[in-house]
Amino acid sequence: MQRSAGLGLADADLASPWLAWAEHLARRLAETRGWGRNIRFAVNRALALVLTGYVEGDVIRHTEIFALLRALELPVGCTVTVMDEMGIFEGGSEPSFERWLAERREGLAPGIRWQAERWIRVLRGRRPPQPPETGRHGLALPQPSPPGPTGMVEPLRPPAGSDPQ
């Protein structure tokens, strides 16, 4: 569906179930990412414009909305974040977050790289931490260690037979 630059807020479908879901996700993202009141309001306006006429299965592309939202001075990045969370957005190229993460991982040891990427994704809200696997009786199973050396050393102990005083 082509989004028109002539579409205004007066034409927006405010009763759309897609808009209601998007506003719910936007509210949740605003709380977790610290979006201010003005950003939240602007994102809701942008979502109302972009999701007017949306039909299930439709994909919204970056090229369709960028010029429209920029012309109205609405936040493209935050709006895209909400639509990406909904699974209805297609950026057309590798997401900037993935490029940023790949650049930061270069040169790190494998064990550190694995842990750093895992926690960055958790903090970003993309992959929640997985609960530990449990056996038949509900006991936590040992978790595999990350690939590569961990760099851990044993704690110091007093020599055998000495009396620490």
AA letter at 119: W
Cα atoms in the Cβ-side hemisphere of radius 13 Å centred on 136: 0
Would you state the pLDDT for residue 38? 92
The residue with tokens 């709006």 is 79
Would you state the pLDDT for residue 128? 46
- Listed in sequence order, the residues at least 6 apart from 44 whose beta carbon sits closer than 8 Å to its beta carbon are 23, 26
Q: What is the DSSP letter of 95?
A: -
* Tokens of residue 28, six digits: 């949740």
AA letter at 86: M
First to last CA, the chain: 80
Alpha-carbon distances of 128 from 111, 117, 120, 121, 143, rounded to whole Å: 20, 13, 11, 8, 17
**pLDDT average per 10 residues of sequence, the chain (165 residues):** 51 79 92 90 91 84 85 89 88 64 77 79 63 51 55 62 61
Cα–Cα dist 164/148, whole Å: 36
> 3 with 65: CB under 8 angstroms?
yes
> 47 with 53: CB under 8 angstroms?
no
Would you state the pLDDT for residue 27? 93
Cα–Cα dist 12/26, whole Å: 17
